[in-house]
Amino acid sequence: REREKERESMCYVHVHAEHSTKPVLSDIPANVLGSFFIGFFGTGAFLRVNNHNIAVFAAGNFMQDNTALQLGFRTGYCGALTTFSSWNVQMVQMIASGRVVSALWGYFAGACLAMSSLYVGIAAATAIAIVQQRAKERQAQLSTGLNEQLLPGQQTPQFQLAQPQPSTDGLSRTDVVFALLLLAMLAGLVTGCAVDTSEDEYAWHNRVFWFAGLFAPLGVLSRWKLGKLNGKLTGGWAWFPVGTFIANVLAATLDGVVAAVLNKNQDKWVVILFSSFGAGYDGCLSTVSTWTTEIYKLLPLPGDQQTHFRAFFYLFATLAVSCALSECVYAWTV
């Protein structure tokens, strides 16, 4: 009986041990991918190439008028795919263990890789949008030349993409489909939490996954609500994205609390629930993709006399405040 208890203990303790000893910058691939996506599928105004809601899609594409899908992809998927809090807590743990230089390098590399990925996404989308615009211009020139060759009374055939018409009959088909997908996903997660009761090592990993999936939508909704505070400051601070700043700092601080609790308590369900909360709620409350796009927006346009002060202030303020608060709540467990 004692040996069974020891084996069970090792299974769920391994979940926390793997989390706390995972390779440095292990969250960077997700941050890089999410930053690329949010740059590649940015608006025409953000990319400064056209007036489309999604610059790389044609004007008649159904996505152009579907604001719910645009919000869901950018705020929901890209924001949840990237995680500021997990990246930050890895650096905080390194600082607490005395590896300050390595932690500073981790912050530097993580920020540079995410920003570089955003720029690559923007460059790729800009190239595609320009090619599409040139093709449209060539088509217009051909149409003009055809007009000159037509006999009097003849008309040039028109090749216009059909514009999607917004639905006025309550919920759209997209709303219904995604509502059903959401219900199916939640049902699957709840079923996984209830049914997966085995005691092997992988079962504990699965339980963290199931519970993290239940926490994740709450983190996304919290970030979305906090994002509405952006632009609410007055005076000289109206430019500061205070909503995203609060979301990232709050998530980083909560993840510091999670790491501190897991460092002190090895109880089975404490490990599962706190690991799930850190990966699900904190991970989705924080965002790197939105953070990098806001830094990009604060950078001056070529030829502008404005300095880079605001962009760098926002970047360093987020990193410094998040690191300081997380370190305060984590250091007492070391």
| pLDDT tens readout for residues 268-297 | 778 888 998 999 999 999 999 999 999 999
Q: How much is the average pLDDT of 174-199?
A: 72
Q: What is the mean pLDDT of residues 227-235?
A: 92
What is the per-residue pLDDT for 89? 93
The pLDDT-based confidence of 313 (bands split at 50, 70, 90) is very high
| pLDDT at residue 67, rounded to an integer | 85
pLDDT the model gives residue 58: 86
Number of H helices, E strands in the chain: 14, 0
- Mapped onto helix, strand or coil, the DSSP state of residue 150 is coil
Segment 133-152 shows an average pLDDT of 69
Six-digit token string for 77? 């998927």
State how far Cα 166 lies from the chain centre: 28
151-178 in b/e form (b: 16+ CB < 10 A) is eeeeeeeeeeeeeeeeeeeeeeeeeeee
pLDDT at 161: 34
Percent of the chain beyond pLDDT 90?
44
In terms of pTM, does the model score above 0.85? no
Sign of CA dihedral 51, 52, 57, 59: negative
Range in 33-47, 59-73, 146-160, 251-265 with the lowest mean pLDDT: 146-160
Measured distance CA(105)–CA(222) in Å, rounded? 30
> How many whole angstroms separate alpha carbon 82 and alpha carbon 96?
24
The 10s digit of each residue's pLDDT in 59-117 is 888 888 888 888 889 999 999 999 999 999 999 999 998 899 999 999 999 999 999 99
Close Cβ partners of 18 (under 8 Å, ≥ 6 residues apart): none
Q: Could you give the 3-state DSSP secondary structure of residue 245?
A: helix
